[in-house]
Amino acid sequence: MTCAILYEMCVDEPTAKVINIDSRPKKKFRPFPMTTVELQKQAARKLHLGSEQTMTIAEKLYQQGYLSYPRTETDSFPEGTDIISLIREQANNPDWGSYASDLTDQGKFKHPSKGRNNDNSHPPIHPTKAATNLTGNEKKLYDYITRHFLACCSEDALGQETTIVIEIAGEIFTAKGLIVEKLNWLEVFPYEKWTDKNLPKFQLEEEFGPTSLLMTESSTTAPHLITEPELISIMDKHGIGTDATIAQHIKTIQDRKYVEKKPGAQFVPTRLGEALVYGYNTMGFQLAKPQLRAETEAAVTQISRG
């Protein structure tokens, strides 16, 4: 009842006045150079490509000379890599060519950040030459990898994290969001959105009429089923599989009918999968426990390292 009364008061006197603005600088950091696991996660999330499909396409693009070797755990470019020449390869592309030229010719280039991972075998995934004749999912994946590479070579995005306090009919309301000042790497990377709460610039004491006044109610919801990008992240975090085998593990549990992948890349356990886990647990076996695979992977890695 109280909420309804306050709502009616604001509807009757809808003029809003800005009484306080608090801002602080904010950055959205450019991405690190791309590893295989990150490619699989982002291709599933942004391009709706399964992990196995992603690796098949990436291998083909590598064999055609468009990409570097796509199986790598390294997220730092080795010293001496001629990154400028790789960027100049993209200068004639109709979609991002002007952005690539600005990086090399207008002083906007910034050396890619160094990650923490290095397999001492292969560099991060990046385009090796321009591609103008690709179609379908091959083009989609090549475009993503190239835009990601250019984003790695750009400045961080800049903005102001802002809290605005307004008064309507004697009641105080607060809005928190972001005022974007420079998109920088986000200009060439449309797959990423900084925030859903962009705020316009206001001045202290400014008065304005809200576009709408709403009173809403909501309720809690159950967690959603696990998606392929989430599964890849969890497997990588807990050492289940490697950059070269995660996609195969995911394919195996689908081939054996333990799970089904639904629209939205969400996995649903089948009755067979549930029965298998129930049977293992009932008999006291640890075969369905995720740490078992992680321990096996860790032991094999130790063996390979001597």
Q: Sort residue 109 into left (φ over 0), alpha (ψ -120 to 50) or beta.
A: beta
pLDDT in tens, 245-275: 888 888 899 999 999 988 878 899 999 989 9
Residues 6+ apart with CB under 8 A from 205: 17, 18, 19
Task: Say yes or no to pLDDT of 120 above 70.
Answer: yes
DSSP 63-132: HTTSB--S-----SPPTT--HHHHHHTTTT-TTTHHHHHHHHHSS---PPPP-S---SS-PPB-B-S---
pLDDT tens, 241-250? 877 788 888 8
pLDDT band at 2 (very low <50, low <70, confident <90, very high): low
| The token pair that represents 49 in the structure block | 């490509």
**Rounded to an integer, what distance in angstroms lies between the CA atom of residue 65 and that of residue 77?**
19
Give the SS3 label for residue 139. Answer: helix
Comparison of pLDDT for 61 and 285, the residue scoring more? 61
Q: Cα separations (Å) of 163 from 171, 202, 224?
A: 16, 11, 31
Which pTM value belongs to this model? 0.77
DSSP symbol at 305: T
User: What residues are paired with 172 via a beta bridge?
Assistant: 167
Q: What percent of the chain has pLDDT over 90?
A: 49
Neighbours of 211 (CB within 10 A): 5
Q: What is the C-alpha to C-alpha distance for residues 11 and 284, in angstroms, rounded to an integer?
A: 64
Which two structure tokens, joined as six digits, stand for 205? 């004491």
pLDDT tens digits for range 37-95: 999 999 999 999 999 999 999 999 999 999 999 999 999 999 889 999 999 999 999 99
Cα–Cα distance for residue pair 242/124, rounded to 1 Å: 15
- Whether residue 99 lies in the annotated active site: no
* Active-site position among 69, 191, 258, 280: 69
pLDDT above 70 covers what percent of the chain?
99
Could you tell me where the DSSP H helices lie in the chain?
A: 2-12, 36-42, 51-63, 83-88, 97-105, 136-152, 228-237, 246-255, 271-283, 290-304
